[in-house]
A and B are shown apart, each in its own frame.
Chain A
Amino acid sequence: MINIKRTAQRGGLYLTMILYALTIVIPLFVMIMTSFKTNAEIFRNPFGLPSSFNIDAYVNLFVISNYEKYFLNSIGVTILSLGIAVTLSALAAYAISKYKFKYNRAIYIYFVLGLVVPIKLGTIDIMITMLRLTVYDTLWALIIVYIAMAIPLSVFVLYDYIKMVPEELSSAARIDGCSEPGIFARVITPLIKPGLAAAGIISFIPNWNEFWFPLVLIKSKDNYTIPLATGQLFGQFDTKLNLVFAVLSLATIPVIVIYLLLSNYFVKGLSAGAVKG
C-alpha cells in the first residue's frame, strides 16, 4: 500500500518536472528553430525542426544592419561599467569592513539600500544631468548609469568576502611597512578574487539586458546597444519573420551560454542574498 502511494508520488514528481522543463525549453526552442526556417516554411511547418538549417536570416541581419557595431557597443559598455563598479565597490567595501569608525553600519546600509531603489524613477534628472555633462546620446551616459546601478549589489557581495579575510594578514603587512593602498592591492585583492568574479557575473545579466536607459538616453544608431537594437529592429522587420527570430536569438544566445558556463556563481550569489536579506 505504502509502496503504491510512494510510486504514485514519484511519478507525479517526475511528470511535473518534465512539464515544467518543457514550458521553459519550448519557447526558446521555437525561437531558435524558427530563425533557421524560410518565411514560407514558418507557415507550413510551425513546430518541427527546419528542413535545412538556413542561415540567410543571420547573414541578412549583418548585411542590413550594423549588428557587429551594436554588439561591440554592448561589450564595451558592459566591461567598462562592471570593471569600474566592481573596483570602486571593492575599495568601499574594504574600508567599511576593515576600518572601524562611527558610521560603518550606516554607510553599509546606505549602499545596500540601492538594491531596492527603483533608479528608473530618477530618469528625468539623469537625462538632464547627462545633457549638462554633454554625454547625452553617447555610450558614456550608459556607462555612468550602469556603474551606479552595479554598486549596491557589488558592495553587498564583496563586503562578506572581505570580512572573511583575517585581520592578522593586513596587520602583518602594515608592520612590514606596506602602505594602505598596497595592503588593498597586494593582500586583500588576491584573496577576494572569487568575490570579485561573483560580483561581476551577477551584475552582468541585468547590465547586458538593460533596455530602459538606452531607450531614453541614446538617439544615434551608432550608439545602440543590443537591447535597443533588438527593440528597433523588431519593429523594422515586422513581416520578415525569420529575421525577427534571428534578432531575438542573437540577443539571447550569448546570455544563455554565459549562464550555462557560470551558473554556479549566479545561483550561489543570488540565493545567499535571499537567505541573508
Chain B
Amino acid sequence: MSDPMEQFRNAFFEEATELADGMEATLLALDIGAVETEDLHTIFRAAHSIKGNAGTFGFPAIAAFTHQLESVMDPVRQGIRPMTSELREQLLQGVDLIRSHLHHARQGEPLPSRDQQAQDLLVERIRGQETAPALPPPAAPLPPAPSPSAATGFTVRFEAPREAFRRGVNLERIFRDLGRLGTLQAWPDASRLPGLDGLDPEDCHLAWDLRLETSASRAEVEEVFEFVAEGDNLQITPLTPAGQVPPLGEILEAEAGVSPADVREALARQKPLGELLVEAGKVKPEAVSRALDQQQKKRSQTDAATLRVSTEKIDRLVNLVGELVITQAMLAQAAQQAVHSTGEERMASALLQLDRQTRELQERVMGIRMVPVEMVFSRFPRMVHELGKQLGKDLDLTLEGQATELDKTFIEMLVDPMTHLVRNAVDHGIETREERARTGKPATGTIALRAYSRGGHIHIEVKDDGRGLDPERILRKAVERGLLPAGARPGDEELYLLIFEPGFSTAEQVSDVSGRGVGMDVVRQNIRALGGRIEVDSRPGQGSTFRLVLPLTLAILDGLTVRVAEETFVFPLASVLESFQCRPEDIRTVKGDREVINLRGEFIPVIRLQRLLDLHAGPDQESGGRPLLVLVEAEGRRAAMSVDELLGQQQVVIKSLETHYRRVEGISGATILGDGRVALILDVPGILRLEAGAALAQA
C-alpha cells in the first residue's frame, strides 16, 4: 500500500471529508433571516474545492455532483438569489451524498443505486430552482437603498504600494472605475507621509479610506484593485446589510462625512473593557489578565496548527512517562536516605528539580491525549436539526465550553450516551408546539450542551427547557416494575436516577426516536465504564439537566493508599466519602455474621476486606484494637470497609492487569508505588457486588 497515488487519494478523502463537515457546519449555523455573505462564500468554496480535487484524483462522479452544488451556490453567494431554508435542506442532503460518495469511492465501489436516485432527484430539484429566478431579475440591479445607512456596499481601506509611481500605476483610474460601480466617497489619508527630510518624492505614501455604495459583488470591487493589491494593503469590508443596525462609526461616515481614519483613531482611544472595570474597582487586575489568558488560549486552540499522530505512538509515550515518574520516585526515595547520611545538598536540589520536571512532562504528555469536547458536540447541531424537523418541534441548540478538553478515549465513548440524552431531551423533554403555547413558553425549545471542568472532573450537561421529569409518574412506574416496594417514597433525586434502570421508560407513546426503554440504562453503563457518574436535576414545567461527571483522564487516578493485612491497596478517592476510627463495640452483627455500623443514625454495612479478599493475616494491630473504616459510596450504595492502616493520598498511574494477566473481581487495575512495588486498585462497585455475592452464598 505504498503506492504514492494511494497516499494522495487518502489525503483527498480526508480533506474532502473535512470540507464536507465544514460545509455542513456552516449550513447549520446560517441564520436564514440574515445570511452572512462570508458564510455563503465558505459553502461555495468547500464545494468548489471538493470538485477540483475530485477531478484531479480521478473521481469524475464526485466532481460532477459537486459541480451541481457549486453552481446552485454561485448565484446565491453573489446575492442574485436568496438563501432559503429549502435550499439549505437540499444542500445538507447534498453534503450527505458527498459523504456517501466519498465512503464508497474509498472502498472502490460505485455509489449505491438508492443514493444515486436520491442524487438524481436532488439535482433535478436544484436545477428547477436555478431556472426559476427567485429575486428580482438578475439583469436589473437592486433598487437604490432608501437610506444611506441601510445601503449595500463596502468600505475599503487602500494603501497604495510604495513603488506605485515608479511602476507607473494610474491610481486615478482606480477611483474612476470604482465610481462607475456605485456611489463613492473617499477620504485621503496622508498620515503615512514621512517628514520632509526623509521624503523620497518617487515613493508613494498615500492611502485612502473609501465608502462605496454599490450592488456590485466583492469580486468586482477586488478586480478594480487587481494591479495594486499586494499583501495586506487592501481591506474590503461589507457595509452592514439592510435590516441590521450599522455601527455608529459607519453612520457618521455616511451622514456626517467623518473620515474612517478619525473613527479608527477614536476607537483606538477607547479603553479595553478590562481596564475600565479595573479602574471602576469592579474587578482585580489579576482576574482580568487571567481571563485574557484564557481567551487567548481559546483563540489559539481554534487556530492552532494540528498534526496527525497515531494514538499508539502517544500511548507508548504516556506509558514511558508513567514509568519515568515511578523511577523518579524510587530514585528520590533511595536518595533521601543517602542525603540524610552525607548531607549532600546539590543532589537533593537536583532531585527536587527532576521531580518538578518529570511531573510537568507527565502533564504535558497526558495533555496530548486530550482533545476538545467539540469533537462530540459538533455532531449535534445536525442531529437536533433533523430531529426537530422529524418531530415538528422548533429547536434551538446552544453549545458552551466546546474547548473543554477530555481524554481521547472518552470522546469516542461519549458519543452514544450523549446521543441518547439529546434524543431524549428533544423527544420527551421539549413539549409540542401546542403544549408550549398553552403553558406560555417561547415556541422554540432550547437544548443546551455545556462542558466545563470542576474539581478534577469534567462535567458535561445536556439541558432542555421542556416539561421536566415527573417524579410521581416515575414513582408509579417504578413500583409497577418492581423497582421499588409499594409505599416507598425516596427523594426526587433518587427517583430521577431510576430512569436509568434497565427496562424503564415512562414515555406514553413509543416513538421512532426514543422511548423503547432501552438507552438510558446503556447511558449509565457507558458512563460508569468511564469511571464517571450521572446526576439529574429537574423542575416540573421548567426542564431537566442531565449531568455527566467524568474523571479528567483514564490513565491517572487520585487514590487513597491503605494497608490491609500485608498488602497495599488503592481506593479511588472519588468513591471515598470519609475515613474514621470507631470502637469495636460500634460494629454490630446482624443475622449472625453480617456487620453494620451506626453512623450518624444510618446503618451502614461493614466489609472486612481482609476476609473478603482472602488475604493472609498481617501484623494485626488494628490501631490499638480500634477498627479503621473507610466509608465508600458507589452506585448509590454505601459501605464501610475495614483497613489496617491509612498510608496516604496520592496520584497513581493506572496500569491494566489484563495486559499480561486477566481481570480480577474487585480489582480495577494496578499501579506501581514509589518503592517499585505493585499495588492493586480496588474496584469499589465490584467489591460491593462481591460482598453481596458472598452474603448470598452464605444465606
A, B assembled together:
no
Chain B contacts to A: CB under 8 angstroms: none
Chain A contacts to B: CB under 8 angstroms: none
